[in-house]
Chain A
Amino acid sequence: MRVFVFVGRRLLLLALVMAIVSVLIFGIVQILPGDVAVMILGTSATPADLASLRQKLGLDRPAALRYADWVGDAIRGEWGTSLLYQVPVRPLVLERLGKSAVLALVALAVAVPLAIALGVLSTLRRNHFLDQAVGLVTLVAVSVPEFITGTVLILVLGLQFGLLPPSSLIDPRASLWSIAPSLVLPTLTLVLALLAHMTRMTRASMLDVLEKPYIRAARLKGLRPRVVILRHALRNALLPTVGIVAINVGFLIGGIVVVETVFAYPGLGRLMVDAVNHRDVPVIQMAALVIALTYALANLAADVVYAYLDPRIRY
């Protein structure tokens, strides 16, 4: 019962956050130079044409009313039409969201267990060769920009050895299994970029926890090292890592434009950048709102996981 109350309160908070975010998104789009009518009609339009289009689009009405309309339409699922491509915004954004979600889930499914395992291994072999090797490799991987890692992976695995498809051209009719190979290289690139942060956070907080009196007590009690590490130390040490994973979910959905571009992966990030470049306001607004929502939901999920990991946590 308690958990429902907790989640319910968090959901109310989330609604508040989304309301604030929507005001920010709408406000920022309003102050972008050049309005929608100019964008649609181009530079050769007459002032009369512009005025009539503004009236048709309702751009002459007060901003507060237009904001209310936009929010109302967004909630009712009427997301409008893309100015750039003349197609409905909702399928455009949702389909890209789905593709971004697939890549994000696959990348996290590989990166999170790997990072935790490497973090734990580093603490167990602290300051030895393995610890230093893990530190060096993950730091190098995070320091090299993704467009370089991605390109090198394409060159080596895709072209030199011909093991994997170098781009992510997904056939809409293909089965999940047959598209899997084209996800390998982008996933690998993302994993390399994500690994360092999570590994080092796990390692640092494991080291911290292992110094705690209750670990000494557990050891003195005669528990097997595996139980001490996994049940007593790791569970407590994971809290900061969970926070980082949550932030990365949002990042993977909306912020990996570089990887999406290098591998020609049709994700939400690229859609957003194209829309901004072409002042495609309906797409900018909805894509931004969807990305913000994923961040908020991921953080909500993290809060639930916190509470599970550490029963003392109450909100």
Chain B
Amino acid sequence: MTRNDEHRGGTRDGMTRRRLFELALAGSAIGVVEPLVKDQERGRAWAETPRSGGTLKMAWPSSPRTIDPALTIQGDEYMITQNVYDNLTRVDERLQVQPMLATRWSSDPQARVWTFHLRQGVKFHHGRELKASDVVLTFERVLDPKTASPGRTALGPIEKVEAVDDYTVRFRMSAPYADLPVNLGVTFGRVLPADRADKIVSEPSGTGPFRLVEFKPGERTRLVKFADYWDRPRPYLDELWQVNIPQHATQVAALSGGDVQMMFEVPVAFIGTLERAPGVSVGSVKSTSFQPVILATDHKPFDDNRVRLAMKLLLDRTAVIKAVWQGRGTVGNDHPVPDINPLHAPQPQRTQDVARAKALLAEAGHPQGFSAEIWTSNERVGMQELAVVVQQMVAPADIKLEVKTVPWSVFNANVYKKKALYINNWFGRATIDETVYPYFHSSGSWNEGKYSNPKLDKLLENGRSSTDPAKRKEIYAELQRVISDEGHYAVTYFTQYVSAVRSNVKGYTLHPLRWCDFRNTFLEA
């Protein structure tokens, strides 16, 4: 078995897998009884028993375009599919992989052939039992170029999916891929019914805790409890609504007045108001999202690592977080792996050192500093503020930056991968491989700084093919050090995901990837 076993808190000897799984479930139930877990308070208030019944309405500023899991690309769509379908695995709130429709799995030592064993007696909403053929169809559909799913490349190098028997599925990879179990837990891996492949949108049926009964784009989506859910007594809610309220101010009013029970995301500007509102709880969790300063290595002067390092050394990270996010954020260390990732490696934190930055600039031939444009967008919260803060912080080294602000669409067309110096906005990924490989491998699809380092490429490839936890830890630690010291990113912070609920909403845990799982949620009397 190669499941990632680094549970925080450890496991005891002599436990059966079944017991371990029960504990894992109980653990998640414990974790979720808190009103929106705050980072530091994890694990308190666990005496309540879930109560069945009631309707929970969650406010979103945007509306789903599609409810076909293979084509979903937005958080509002993920929320629907996450509660209508199940995955083979579950990526939990600590980004650890847990069993879901698959009860156990294993691979060959090269991580090329993976075998998943399915839970028995799982029913689809239309009454049929889940079989291995459903899983095969699900992934063949995503991988079929005709489906045009963004998941085709995101799921990993899957070559073939086959049903060994009714309850066993085998994945054959075209290259070693240790992160497959995590990737099967992401949004494209919702297991669909093979007999209804042509009715995914018109008559959706999943094995998940809620049935979709109404999909009114731009207005609301209504889910009702699936009485035959395999993980009874879950779900506890009778109905789960996603309602589209475009204005955050109106959402705040609706939550304060009790028209809705939950807000998907609270912008920084509204946090104070909601914290003072009676009957409302605000919660936050460290997210995987970050806004890097891109120092493109195919442009002067950032082709010289001394200049890149000098830029990184000029930034006072705590002050940046205070100025841009009112102090809400986690300090970054110039690589994209957040400290909530199980493979995050503790390293000395880079701090502001103007003298050393000036020395490096002089060594690189810029004793008088230089002038440049820093590009950013005004359509993603934080990006513009960060550009201005960076402009001020590099000024002591005589670096004169001109802030250029453009709309998001223009940013994507003319700035991303094209300019020498800009701010970007990334959400972060569930697996360590997806977090680093596409951004830093010389052939990576999102390598926007044209960074190329054979040593790093080798490390990234080794990380993919290694299944030994200790070895992986070592590889990814080295990799984070190299990226931090030489890469094209200055990462000053990871953002927080802030959400708010009515105080009687219990059993809901914020997910660092902003996923919304209502399996354990209930309304207190």
Binding site for B on A (CB under 8 A): 41-42, 45, 82, 84-87, 92, 95, 151, 154-155, 158-159, 162, 165-167, 169, 172, 261-264, 266, 270-271, 274, 278
Q: Is A270 a contact partner of B218 (Cβ separation < 8 A)? A: yes
Q: From residue 383 to 431 of chain B, which have CB atoms closer than 8 A to chain A? A: none
Count of B interface residues, CB-CB < 8 Å:
27
Query: 24 A-B contacts, Cβ less than 8 Å apart?
Result: A82-B217, A85-B65, A85-B217, A86-B68, A86-B201, A87-B215, A92-B217, A154-B249, A154-B253, A162-B257, A165-B259, A166-B257, A167-B245, A169-B57, A172-B214, A261-B247, A262-B250, A264-B245, A264-B246, A266-B220, A270-B218, A274-B63, A274-B217, A278-B65
| B219, CB-defined interface residue at 8 Å | yes
Kindly list the 10 A-B residue pairs having the minimum CB-CB distance in the complex, ordered from nearest: A166-B253, A85-B217, A264-B245, A266-B219, A167-B254, A166-B257, A154-B253, A261-B246, A167-B259, A86-B201
Q: Is B257 a contact partner of A159 (Cβ separation < 8 A)? A: yes
A155 and B201 in contact (CB under 8 A), knowing A85-B65, A271-B218? Answer: no
Residues from chain A with a CB closer than 8 A to the CB of B66 are 85-86
| B87, CB-defined interface residue at 8 Å | no
| B160, CB-defined interface residue at 8 Å | no
> In the docked arrangement, what's the CA distance between A169 and B56, Å?
13
Q: Which residue of A42, A95, A262 contacts B148 across the interface (Cβ within 8 Å)?
A: A42
Residues from chain B with a CB closer than 8 A to the CB of A158 are 253, 257
Closest A-chain residue to B215, C-beta based? A87
Of A41, A45, A82, A85, most B-chain CB atoms within 10 Å: A85
Q: Min CB distance, B416 to chain A, in Å? A: 13
Q: Is B250 a contact partner of A154 (Cβ separation < 8 A)? A: yes
> In the docked arrangement, what's the CA distance between A166 and B148, Å?
41
Closest B-chain residue to A41, C-beta based? B148
In the complex, besides A166-B254, A169-B260, A274-B63, 5 extra interface pairs with C-beta distance below 8 angstroms are A87-B215, A169-B220, A169-B254, A264-B243, A264-B246
| B484, CB-defined interface residue at 8 Å | no
Q: Which residue of B68, B246, B259 contacts A169 across the interface (Cβ within 8 Å)?
A: B259
Closest B-chain residue to A182, C-beta based? B259
Residues from chain A with a CB closer than 8 A to the CB of B244 are 264, 266
> In the docked arrangement, what's the CA distance between A84 and B63, Å?
11
Q: Which residue of A84, A166, A271 contacts B65 across the interface (Cβ within 8 Å)?
A: A84
Closest B-chain residue to A151, C-beta based? B249
> In the docked arrangement, what's the CA distance between A169 and B220, Å?
9
Q: Is A169 a contact partner of B217 (Cβ separation < 8 A)? A: no
> In the docked arrangement, what's the CA distance between A155 and B231, Å?
43
Q: Is A169 a contact partner of B250 (Cβ separation < 8 A)? A: no
Binding site for A on B (CB under 8 A): 57, 63, 65-66, 68, 148, 201, 214-220, 243-247, 249-250, 253-254, 256-257, 259-260
Residues from chain B with a CB closer than 8 A to the CB of A154 are 249-250, 253
Q: Which residue of B65, B215, B256 contacts A159 across the interface (Cβ within 8 Å)?
A: B256
Q: Which residue of A82, A85, A166, A172 contacts B259 across the interface (Cβ within 8 Å)?
A: A166
Residues from chain B with a CB closer than 8 A to the CB of A270 are 218, 246
> In the docked arrangement, what's the CA distance between A85 and B219, Å?
12
> In the docked arrangement, what's the CA distance between A262 and B251, Å?
9
Of A82, A167, A263, A274, most B-chain CB atoms within 10 Å: A167
Residues from chain A with a CB closer than 8 A to the CB of B256 are 159, 166
Q: Is A266 a contact partner of B218 (Cβ separation < 8 A)? A: yes
Residues from chain B with a CB closer than 8 A to the CB of A84 are 65, 217
> In the docked arrangement, what's the CA distance between A155 and B249, Å?
10
A165 and B257 in contact (CB under 8 A), knowing A84-B65, A264-B247? Answer: yes
Residues from chain B with a CB closer than 8 A to the CB of A85 are 65-66, 217-218
Q: Min CB distance, B258 to chain A, in Å? A: 9
Q: Min CB distance, B69 to chain A, in Å? A: 14
Closest A-chain residue to B412, C-beta based? A43
Q: Is B253 a contact partner of A274 (Cβ separation < 8 A)? A: no
> In the docked arrangement, what's the CA distance between A182 and B257, Å?
12
Residues from chain A with a CB closer than 8 A to the CB of B249 are 151, 154, 262
> In the docked arrangement, what's the CA distance between A167 and B254, Å?
6
Q: Is B217 a contact partner of A87 (Cβ separation < 8 A)? A: yes
Residues from chain B with a CB closer than 8 A to the CB of A162 are 257
Of A41, A86, A155, A165, most B-chain CB atoms within 10 Å: A86
Residues from chain B with a CB closer than 8 A to the CB of A167 are 245, 250, 253-254, 257, 259-260
Q: Min CB distance, A190 to chain B, in Å? A: 16
Residues from chain B with a CB closer than 8 A to the CB of A86 are 66, 68, 201
> In the docked arrangement, what's the CA distance between A41 and B245, Å?
28
Residues from chain B with a CB closer than 8 A to the CB of A261 are 246-247, 250
> In the docked arrangement, what's the CA distance between A45 and B215, Å?
28
Q: Is A159 a contact partner of B253 (Cβ separation < 8 A)? A: yes
Q: Min CB distance, B516 to chain A, in Å? A: 18
Residues from chain A with a CB closer than 8 A to the CB of B219 are 266
Residues from chain A with a CB closer than 8 A to the CB of B247 are 261-262, 264
> In the docked arrangement, what's the CA distance between A95 and B57, Å?
21
Of B217, B259, B260, most A-chain CB atoms within 10 Å: B217
> In the docked arrangement, what's the CA distance between A280 and B482, Å?
46
Q: Min CB distance, A50 to chain B, in Å? A: 12
Q: Min CB distance, B308 to chain A, in Å? A: 30
> In the docked arrangement, what's the CA distance between A183 and B214, Å?
22
> In the docked arrangement, what's the CA distance between A219 and B67, Å?
70
Closest A-chain residue to B65, C-beta based? A84
Residues from chain A with a CB closer than 8 A to the CB of B65 are 84-85, 278
Q: Is A266 a contact partner of B216 (Cβ separation < 8 A)? A: yes
Q: Min CB distance, A20 to chain B, in Å? A: 29
